[in-house]
Amino acid sequence: MKHAINVTLRLPDDYQVPQTGAGDYAISIEKTTGLPGSYPGISSNVLPVGSPLVFSFHIVPDFDPAVAGDEFSVKMQINHEGTDLLADNEHAFIWNGGDQDVDIDLNLAPSSAIETDHLIAPNV
C-alpha cells in the first residue's frame, strides 16, 4: 500500500508569479533522516500560474526506506529573468507514517520596492 504526500505551496496572497519573460521553477524532495532517499521532482521552464501550487509524491513501504517520524525536505525555486523570487526555499516536515497533507507558505526574496514591482505582479 502506498502513501500519498500532498504538498501545497502558497505564495503571499497579494502576489502571483510573472508570466512574461524567461523563467523556470523546480521542486525537489529528499528524505533527510534515516536511510537516504530522494523522490521524483518537478521542474519546468513554464512558470506556475496562480497559488497555491499543489503536487503529490508517494511513499511505497515495500520499496522505500522511509518510516514514520522521518524528516523530509521540500525545496522550491522560482527564477524569473535570472532572479530568485523566494527567500527560503527549503522546508522540512516529519512524515506521520500514512497519507499526509503538508502546507508550506513561501516567502518572497527581499528586494527593493522597485525590483518587487518589476518582478512580482499583484493579483488584481
Question: What does the pLDDT look like over 53-63, one tens digit per residue?
Answer: 888 999 988 88
Show me where the domains of the chain are located: 3-122
- pLDDT for res 101: 97
- Digit-coded pLDDT (tens) for 94-113: 999 999 999 999 888 876 23
Task: State residue 95's pLDDT score.
Answer: 95
| Percent of the chain topping pLDDT 90 | 26
CATH of domain 3-122: 2.60.40
b/e sequence 92-122, b meaning 16+ C-beta within 10 Å: ebebeeeebebebebebbebeeeeeeebbee
Confidence (pLDDT) at 69: 95
